[in-house]
Structure 1
Amino acid sequence: MSAPEALVERARVTLDSLTSDPNFSWLKNYLKYARGVLIVPQFLKGGFIIGGSGGSGVFLAREPQTGRWSEPVFYTLVGASIGLQIGANAAEVLLMVRTERGVEAFYSSTFKLGGDAAVAVGPVGMSMEGATPHNLSADILSFAKAKGLYAGLSLEGSVLRVRSDWNQLYYGKAVGPMDILIQKAVSHPRSAPLQQRLEAIAAGR
């Protein structure tokens, strides 16, 4: 199994880890309204980049009319000084993209959260199941889990960069976000378990 294939499988495991946790019931219940998700199985504080944080993840967009999820695009999420306020060195991270503007930001090879797309911390806690997000203007809501702690990861100012090398390795040819998300020019059989799990959660299963 290649590194990109392993990351897709780890993303599925991370998705299950978050959505099976009662503290992320809001995320699970409102995933059906998402326009896309970025899943980072291991977001590291320090060591990844001196004085910073980062991790690799996959982004999938949801077709509003059909509810089908796209093939994954590989990204690196880097924060120059954001750190983990939740008191841990590593976290599972999911970004729920709520708007078309948020999805369009992922068409670029590089973009900044809070600049090209507004980001806010998503509702977390068992009492938040039916809550309204505190920042309705945000294009993206972030969710993080580390060592039993559930909040405090600020992604404002962090940067997302396409991993072109991993996209090429996974799909067998050079492709960019537009090729994968809009033109649907490629596919990979190992994407199916993650796509199907996203569809099942959005359908309430």
Structure 2
Amino acid sequence: MSTPFARKSAMLLACAALLGGCSTTAPTSEETHAYVDDAQKTLAEFMRDPQMTWLQNHVHGARAVMVSPRIWQAGFVFGGSGGEMLVISRNRSGEGWNGPAFYKMGSGSFGLQAGAQETQMVALVMNEKALNSLLSTSFKLGGDLSIAAGPIGAGAGRPVTSDIVIFTRNKGLYGGINLDGTVITIDDGKNQVYYGRTTTPVDILIEGRATNPYSSKLTHTATVGVNAGPVK
């Protein structure tokens, strides 16, 4: 007979599997390219959205941009969120972007929730301290770094001084989910497949030694801002 502790542990593991996508299957080049395409489309939508003027006005002053086309928030008895994201960073000339580097996201919380929802995210990394955190093996949003929800619509004129400014959207509704406490880890598997060799976020985001021409649509979207559209 299973005990309450055993049942709770099993449910927690099931939720973690859903949020973390615990597949052991190695990623393919086609899958990484498809994810970059999804991220580019997400970023373009945010950059054209009239509710996102703060994001559009400040992206060119950001040290890096974090994009996730899909963050899952699950219900059951145990709640949490998880997904993937990629990051592009301002190159040393300040005129373009390096990357992307691939990352995993995950968090867990206790509480009675219902259902599951899918959220899109674009976040601006505003300073060197926050960018350096992305070079470590893992870090937690809201831990050593201050995070804030980005101003939307009429509030876009107010100043924001956080290390990372996060914009989320869930099925057209702004606000999305609370990412405070989310753990970010490097996705070495996807980075290796996408660049064809073992590499690190330092190689990708800082030194620009790892490149892939397939990234041009994504970096173009960040460069042209509100004029972002399909790239031929």
Q: TM-score range by the shorter chain?
A: 0.7 to 0.9
> Judging changes above 3 Å, is the alpha-carbon distance between structure 1 residues 6 and 53 closer, same or farther for their aligned structure 2 residues?
same
Please state whether the residue corresponding to 1:55 is helix, strand or coil.
strand
1:145 aligns with 2:169: yes
Q: CA deviation at 1:10?
A: 0.7
Counterpart of 2:156 in structure 1 is: 129
Counterpart of 1:22 in structure 2 is: 50
Q: CA deviation at 1:64?
A: 6.4
- 8 Å CA contact 2:170, 2:176 repeated in 1: no
Please state whether the residue corresponding to 2:99 is helix, strand or coil.
coil
**Amino acid corresponding to residue 51 of structure 1 in structure 2:** G
> Judging changes above 3 Å, is the alpha-carbon distance between structure 1 residues 90 and 204 closer, same or farther for their aligned structure 2 residues?
closer
Matches within 5 A, 1:16-55: 16-46=44-74, 51-55=79-83
Cα deviations by residue, 1:87-133 (Å, 9 ceiling, x for unpaired): 970111111101110100000121111123221111112x1333222
User: Any unmatched runs of 5+ in structure 2?
Assistant: 1-28
Question: Distance between the aligned counterparts of 2:110 and 2:50, measured in 1?
Answer: 27
Q: TM-score, normalised by structure 2?
A: 0.78
Question: Among 74, 83, 91, which residue is 2:102 paired with?
Answer: 74
**Amino acid corresponding to residue 159 of structure 2 in structure 1:** T
- 8 Å CA contact 1:82, 1:154 repeated in 2: no
Counterpart of 2:35 in structure 1 is: 7
Higher strand share: 2
**Amino acid corresponding to residue 93 of structure 1 in structure 2:** M
> Judging changes above 3 Å, is the alpha-carbon distance between structure 1 residues 61 and 3 closer, same or farther for their aligned structure 2 residues?
same
Please state whether the residue corresponding to 1:186 is helix, strand or coil.
coil
- 8 Å CA contact 1:58, 1:74 repeated in 2: yes
1:114 aligns with 2:142: yes
Question: Among 174, 183, 186, which residue is 1:162 paired with?
Answer: 186
Counterpart of 1:177 in structure 2 is: 201
Higher helix share: 2
**Amino acid corresponding to residue 30 of structure 2 in structure 1:** S
Q: TM-score, normalised by structure 1?
A: 0.87
> Judging changes above 3 Å, is the alpha-carbon distance between structure 1 residues 64 and 162 closer, same or farther for their aligned structure 2 residues?
same
Alignment RMSD = 2.4
Q: CA deviation at 1:79?
A: 1.8
- Percent of aligned pairs sharing the same letter: 35
**Count of residues in correspondence between the two structures:** 197
Question: Distance between the aligned counterparts of 1:96 and 1:170, measured in 2?
Answer: 23
User: Any unmatched runs of 5+ in structure 1?
Assistant: none
